């Protein structure tokens, strides 16, 4: 096994991290090699391996983004991101939280205006997958609430941590779903990317599922997630197209999204 670049007990130079991701910088001063080879060449190899590993991590997190623009474009874009925003944590599963915003401002991607929102959806799936476990509300508890319809408007909904809602001016749910089949090209031909869509992202067991919501249902769910009572959320949802109260509640239950109900403004779960 090769010896490390730094002798035992020697601190890394302050400019090591900066030089690691910036090929325009020279290798940090003070590097040594175990066999007398050029330490600058070894550092260049190490720099390349680190950069490629980070790009690969982004490709694993954002496979649909990569599919939409192609491997070469994606890797060139990811390389620029890696240099601008290196990871702050050794846990690479969470790397890429700033990537959607970077894509939104990446001039060469301006011709694919929905790309950043697709990246938001893919990163939301990562967050939902790693969110804390919670037991979804039981069906009999919901049935008991429905048996007292007069109390429903004053209840608030508590969501499980592994659930997120994204609202977009682009067809993010359809674009994502098209790439979960073997015929993505054929499915894409039937999608209007400029059609606004909303995506509910929830984890059931170990599976992260993406469900498209109508505008009214999304307004209803967004209000509930913001702490509104069922009565307030119903009023907001009814003001948007496609609102279906029974359908929206059924979808939330099917997604295991609801952890419980509380009287609005109180903390005790029902």
Look over the chain and give the mean of its residue pLDDT values, rounded to a whole number.
87
Q: For 4-25, write each residue's pLDDT tens digit.
A: 443 444 444 457 777 777 777 7
Q: Could you tell me if 108 and 229 lie in one domain?
A: no
Q: Could you tell me if 36 and 143 lie in one domain?
A: no
Domain membership of residue 101 (yes or no) is yes
> Which of the four pLDDT bands, split at 50, 70 and 90, describes residue 143?
confident
Q: Could you tell me if 40 and 143 lie in one domain?
A: no
Q: Could you tell me if 260 and 141 lie in one domain?
A: yes
Q: Could you tell me if 75 and 182 lie in one domain?
A: no
Domain membership of residue 153 (yes or no) is yes
Query: Is pLDDT at 117 greater than 70 in this prediction?
Result: yes
Q: What is the pLDDT of residue 139?
A: 81
Q: Could you tell me if 168 and 251 lie in one domain?
A: yes
Q: Which domain holds residue 78?
A: 1-112
Q: What is the pLDDT of residue 1?
A: 37
Which of 67, 82, 112 terminates a domain? The answer is 112
Query: Is pLDDT at 150 greater than 90 in this prediction?
Result: no
Q: Are strands 207-213 and 197-204 parallel, antiparallel or unpaired?
A: antiparallel
Q: Could you tell me if 72 and 141 lie in one domain?
A: no
Domain membership of residue 94 (yes or no) is yes
Phi, psi of 23 (to 5 degrees): -65, -15
Q: What is the pLDDT of residue 35?
A: 67
Which of 112, 145, 178 terminates a domain? The answer is 112
Q: For 36-89, write each residue's pLDDT tens digit.
A: 676 667 777 777 788 899 999 999 999 999 999 999 999 999 999 998 998 888
- DSSP E strand boundaries for the chain: 155-159, 163-168, 197-204, 207-213, 258-263
Domain membership of residue 221 (yes or no) is yes
Q: What is the pLDDT of residue 186?
A: 63
Report DSSP letters for 225-245, one per residue.
Answer: HTT-BHHHHHHHHHTSTT--H
Q: For 178-235, write each residue's pLDDT tens digit.
A: 999 877 666 788 899 999 999 999 999 999 999 999 999 999 999 999 999 999 999 9
As for how many domains the chain has, the answer is 2
Please, which residues bridge with residue 158 across strands? 260
| DSSP state for residue 207 in the 8-state scheme | E
Q: Could you tell me if 63 and 192 lie in one domain?
A: no
Domain membership of residue 217 (yes or no) is yes
Domain membership of residue 124 (yes or no) is no
The model's pTM is 0.85
Mean pLDDT of 227-251: 94
Domain membership of residue 119 (yes or no) is no
Q: What is the pLDDT of residue 15?
A: 73
Q: What is the pLDDT of residue 149?
A: 79
Q: Could you tell me if 81 and 168 lie in one domain?
A: no
Domain membership of residue 128 (yes or no) is no
**Between vectors from CA 106 to CA 104 and to CA 112, what angle results, nearest 5°?**
65
Q: Could you tell me if 63 and 19 lie in one domain?
A: yes
Asked if 77 and 109 count as a contact pair (C-beta separation under 8 A), the reply is: yes
Q: What is the pLDDT of residue 183?
A: 72
Q: Could you tell me if 225 and 149 lie in one domain?
A: yes
Q: Could you tell me if 65 and 142 lie in one domain?
A: no
- DSSP E strand boundaries for 53-186: 155-159, 163-168
Q: What sign does the CA torsion over 15, 16, 21, 26 have? A: positive
């Amino acid at each position: 096994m090769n010896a490390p670049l730094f002798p035992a007990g020697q601190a890394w130079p302050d400019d090591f991290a900066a030089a690691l991701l910036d090929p325009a910088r020279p290798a940090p001063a003070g590097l040594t090699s175990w066999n007398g080879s050029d330490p600058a060449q070894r550092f260049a190899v190490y720099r390349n391996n680190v950069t490629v590993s980070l790009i690969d991590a982004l490709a694993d997190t954002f496979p649909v983004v990569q599919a939409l623009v192609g491997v070469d474009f994606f890797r060139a874009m990811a390389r620029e991101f890696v240099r601008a925003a290196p990871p702050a944590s050794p846990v690479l599963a969470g790397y890429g939280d700033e990537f959607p915003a970077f894509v939104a401002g990446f001039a060469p991607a301006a011709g694919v205006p929905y790309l950043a929102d697709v990246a938001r959806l893919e990163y939301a799936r990562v967050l939902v997958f790693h969110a804390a476990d919670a037991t979804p509300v039981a069906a009999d508890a919901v049935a008991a609430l429905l048996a007292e319809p007069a109390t429903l408007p004053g209840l608030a909904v508590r969501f499980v941590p592994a659930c997120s809602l994204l609202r977009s001016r682009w067809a993010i749910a359809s674009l994502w779903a098209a790439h979960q089949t073997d015929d993505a090209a054929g499915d894409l031909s039937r999608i209007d990317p400029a059609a606004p869509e909303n995506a509910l992202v929830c984890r059931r067991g170990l599976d992260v599922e993406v469900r498209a919501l109508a505008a009214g249902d999304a307004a209803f769910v967004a209000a509930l997630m913001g702490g509104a009572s069922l009565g307030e959320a119903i009023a907001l949802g009814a003001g948007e197209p496609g609102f279906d109260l029974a359908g929206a509640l059924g979808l939330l239950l099917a997604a295991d999204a609801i952890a419980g109900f509380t009287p609005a403004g109180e903390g005790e779960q029902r």
